[in-house]
Amino acid sequence: MAIDDITQTVSDRYARAAATGEQMCCPTTYDLADLKSFVPQEVLTISYGCGTPAGLNSVQPGETVLDIGSGGGIDCFVAARRVGPTGNVIGIDITDTMLEIARRNVPIVAANLGYATANMEFRKGTADAMPVEDASVDLIISNCVINLAPDKRKVFREMYRVLKPGGRFTISDILADQVVPQYLAHDSAKWGDCLSGALQVQDYLGGMMDAGFHAVHQIQSTPWRSIDGIHFLSVTLTGYKFPPVADNAAPLYATLKGPFSTATDELGQQYRRGIPQSIDARTAQFLQSPPLQSLFLIEQAPVFIEATDPRWRAVLPEQAPCVWKGDYAILTGPVINAEDDDHHQHYRGVPLEICSKTTQVLTQDAYRPHFTIYNRASTRVNGTEGTCSPTDGCC
């Protein structure tokens, strides 16, 4: 399908949903009891998405928030409450019907929040050519919308352009565990269903890094649907546009605490658990960001960590037989590859089949935030127990 045809198909689909009250495909959860206190029912009825934008939990009063694909305005209205009357919220959308509904409810929401003037506005525009000034936004949110854009890499570049240095994004989207075939990609009905436009996890994350973002990591993920053996996942991601850093400070040392036994950061630096590594100011900025600071010890002098040290973090597999149950793991953490204590090499965004023992390891608290775990088996698996060894293809 041509890009213009895709854009028109998606716009028409959402306009029709707004007019008829059709429930769209994407999974989402909202605290409706809370929202009803200030968001009109008209908006709640047409709220679609694949995850409540968790990034709003980090919003500070006075910040500027941009919502890509704002629809009827629900996430903008939630953001307006979070940033307070001194903050600003911008919503962009391509569907006139949605924009009309959102704009109509701006004064109602502002009055319900007790604001003398509205702190939110809605602009017509596309995600790959946003009508937003350079370096003007603190936080970008988006709820199952970038999936619908034909050129996602252009969207990521636009996101980077409009963010201030030090800004961040938190977006929810539908991703696929493998390449979506052409017969689905050219199915106009499935574009509006958040299926045809889904990128592989590794391509989505790679596009963000290519745009300039760092410390890209998963906030949450949920298996959603499976069609013809392709598994679609609802994933919420956060990443940062780091400000420039002067590299004239004294060297620092980073020691990987775990749970990974080895890891490689987005800058290509490799680490072994417990072994200090000299790092420059840029790497220190990266490793001290929220998703990585719990994994590393940063000091002015080298610090070695032994297995007996309480700062050492490891999750060892059970010494017991394992079973293949159809489980797969995708590394979605803030490192590009890592090794667990069962000697599995995980590459970010790439599915890896795992046995029951490894599933138990990766679902522990130390590992869970860094992985999407899902099951590809179409029927119940009656696997026999096996002994893990390098020669039997298990662990």
The more confidently predicted of residues 20 and 254 is 254
Q: Which CATH number fits domain 3-240: 3.40.50.150, 3.10.450.50, 1.20.1530.20, 3.40.50.720?
A: 3.40.50.150
Over residues 188-206, the mean pLDDT reads: 81
Say if residue 26's pLDDT is above 60. no
Say if residue 296's pLDDT is above 90. yes
Q: Answer for the pair 139, 168: CB distance below 8 angstroms, yes or no.
A: yes
For residue 244, the model assigns a pLDDT of 92
Pair of tokens at residue 18: 């707004």
Q: What is the DSSP string of 98-117?
A: HHHHHHHHHHHHHHHHT-SS
What proportion of the chain, given as a percentage, has pLDDT over 70?
85
Q: Answer for the pair 244, 165: CB distance below 8 angstroms, yes or no.
A: yes
d(CA 152, CA 36): 33
What proportion of the chain, given as a percentage, has pLDDT over 90?
69
**List of residues 6+ apart from 8 with CB closer than 8 A:** none
Pair of tokens at residue 271: 């680490």
Sorted by where each begins, the domain ranges of the chain are 3-240, 252-299, 315-395
Domain 252-299 matches domain 315-395 at the CATH topology level: yes
For residue 58, the model assigns a pLDDT of 84
Mean pLDDT across the chain: 88
For residue 75, the model assigns a pLDDT of 92
| 99-158 pLDDT, tens digit each | 999 999 999 999 999 999 999 999 999 999 999 999 999 999 998 889 888 899 999 999
Residue closest to 51 by CA, chosen among 158, 229, 170:
170
**pTM, to two decimals:** 0.88
Note the CATH number of domain 315-395: 3.40.5.100
Pair of tokens at residue 362: 């990766």
Over residues 25-43, the mean pLDDT reads: 78
Residue type, 129: A
d(CA 39, CA 47): 11
| 254-278 pLDDT, tens digit each | 999 999 999 999 999 999 999 999 9
- Nearest-10 crossing angle of helices 74-83, 96-113: 30
Say if residue 175's pLDDT is above 90. yes
For residue 219, the model assigns a pLDDT of 93
Q: What is the DSSP string of 172-205?
A: EEEEESSPPPHHHHT-HHHHHTT-TTPPBHHHHH
For residue 12, the model assigns a pLDDT of 47
Over residues 320-347, the mean pLDDT reads: 94
For residue 262, the model assigns a pLDDT of 98
Give the class (CATH, top level) of 252-299. alpha beta
For residue 35, the model assigns a pLDDT of 87
Residue closest to 311 by CA, chosen among 364, 275, 257:
257
List, in sequence order, the alpha helices (H) in the chain.
3-20, 32-35, 41-45, 74-83, 96-113, 152-162, 182-185, 188-192, 201-211, 281-287, 356-362
Helix (H) or strand (E) holding 221: strand 214-227
